[in-house]
A and B are shown apart, each in its own frame.
Chain A
Amino acid sequence: MPTAHIDYSDVHRQLNLEVDNKREATSDDIISTPSGLSIIEIQGELNFPRDVPLNVTIDESNAEYIQNFVTVNDIRHAVKFGRLQFDEKDAKKVILFIGKSQRLLGTMVDLETPLAVLKIPVKKNDDTTEDTISMIDIISKKIIFKQRPLPVM
């Protein structure tokens, strides 16, 4: 595969959309791009549970844990790992609550260089078709958590 084409037509359209400046910005406008993507960066490694507790008898000891698991569009499983709250005084500051005992202080920062999100088809061994890479979005800000977790008082 010496050459792969990048289809950027969606991004081209988004970049040339007229912005309605009269409309008041919502939380969604602040947190994500018009197509709904956001980047969250947390220092260090996050260990998510990979095993979904299906067919497990729910009792008082595990109910709260199991309730964190959901299905998205009946296809994929996901686990809830926190709650993100904007600072009431400064929309650029956010707090991420993880569980009931930890919180992380973060900020919304503008990226020095915008990031394109590329959606790249994963080739199977026997697949010889020429798939196009899609540029699905351009992200110009991210939420970054640089500090150590603090206890929830």
Chain B
Amino acid sequence: MESYSLYQQTSYDENYAYKFLQLPPDLLAYIKDNKNQELVIKSSTTNSGQLVVCSAKKTWKMRQMNHSNSVLLMDNANVDHQNKCIKSIVPNHEVDQKNNLIGFSESTYEYELIETKGSIVIDDLPRYHGDELRDDTNNTNARKISLSELMENSPISTEEFYKSWYELGGCDIGGQVYILSVEYITEVLFILITTLLSQEFNYKSDTIDMNKIRSTICNQKGSIDNSVLKTVINKFSVHKEQGLQLDNFKIAKWFGINELSKLTTTLVDSKEFLLQWKASLPTFYNVSLDLHYLRGHYCSPIEGRIRFVSAEDLSPTLSVRFSQLFQLDKSWNYDDFVPFIKDFVPSGVKVDSIILKFGKKKRVGKNKFVVTPRQ
């Protein structure tokens, strides 16, 4: 077999740095299958130092993996040898031009890519209530940026961005981004469903005719902005082959949580609440309602009576979160309790393991369990 002479440059190109990036199988396939598609490295403006790689559809977090080995990036002079000429610095000393590997960079780390869910930071974006007179939030310090700027500054891929953007209630009005307030979303959703029903729309099977609904709603006096309507439709629809269909479960849940959120201090009979919930929906919009839809938003310290619990106000630290939940109710129905903690359980750990760590799981019936404090 042949042998190669190994050289290493004594100085490196000051105009370029060479870095290694691990390619997971899905990113490798994306590079192979897509020509000139989007591939970017983004740094979050809010979480400095956090870098992500985004394809058009996915996001990976970059982690720098340091090592103490000498890793040399070598260039084989046999490949494209016409452009590589090696000369000795000693006059009249010939150097073999064949089989030379020339190191032109060395590295002490490589980047590992971990698939992640991209995020959009909306905390400092202005809230939109549809009517400035009703705007009771302090928008003076809000970030005034365009949609493209926000997308560029968010560590998330384009496709994920739009999915999350509508979910967060984001819209673009006059070249500036806003987050729609919960009250305004509810108001627009109510108008949307009422308008659709007035057009003999079958909310269980028909697809939404965007142009028709836009011309009806957006052209009315005191009209709703086109971007707002688009956001609300996308937020409460499912994409089917034929087009967008109303997501009736999500709509029912939205109205339910909205109605439930009015019960922060008072306990209400669950049957009575179901009637209130039904009354909050547009007339003739008859979708099935079940208290189970609202799991993760209520507690039931007294059998048959419920009260709203704001999951956002609970601590993200599991031990504190458990204490807060046990302050609300000493004996939780297992199925009502799990939605409050499942998003905070570390990956690879079972929910029950976490419950047993911070509380107790007791059987109270054939298939019924409750979660209680340890003492």
Contacts and interface: CB of A to CB of B under 8 A. Distances in A.
A18 B102 CA distance: 27
B40 A16 contact: no
B110 interface: yes
B1 interface: yes
B356 interface: no
A120 B19 contact: yes
A152 interface: no
A59 to B, nearest CB: 12
Given A8-B31, A78-B10, A120-B18, A66 B90 contact: yes
B140 interface: no
Given A9-B35, A36-B75, A118 B21 contact: yes
Interface residues of B, number: 69
B71 interface: yes
Contacts of B2: 27, 86
Nearest to A111: B22
Interface residues of A, number: 75
A5 B39 contact: yes
Interface string B152-164: 1100000000000
B78 interface: yes
A46 B69 CA distance: 9
A54 interface: yes
Contact of A12 (B24, B32, B95): B32
A53 B90 CA distance: 10
A87 to B, nearest CB: 7
Contacts of B69: 41-44
B291 to A, nearest CB: 44
A15 interface: yes
Contact of B95 (A52, A70, A83): A70
B83 interface: yes
A128 interface: no
Interface stretch (B41-49, B334-342, B345-353): B41-49
Contacts of B72: 39-42, 46
Contacts of B16: 119-122
B3 interface: yes
Contacts of B41: 3-4, 6, 133
Interface in A81-110: 81-88, 91, 96
Contacts of B42: 2-4
A34 B19 contact: no
Contact of B1 (A42, A45, A87): A87
Given A2-B42, A28-B78, A42-B70, 5 more contacts: A8-B39, A40-B101, A73-B83, A77-B10, A84-B5
5 contacts: A3-B41, A38-B76, A78-B102, A115-B20, A120-B18
Interface of B: 1-11, 13-24, 28, 31-32, 34-36, 38-45, 53, 68-80, 83-90, 93, 95, 99, 101-104, 110, 152-153
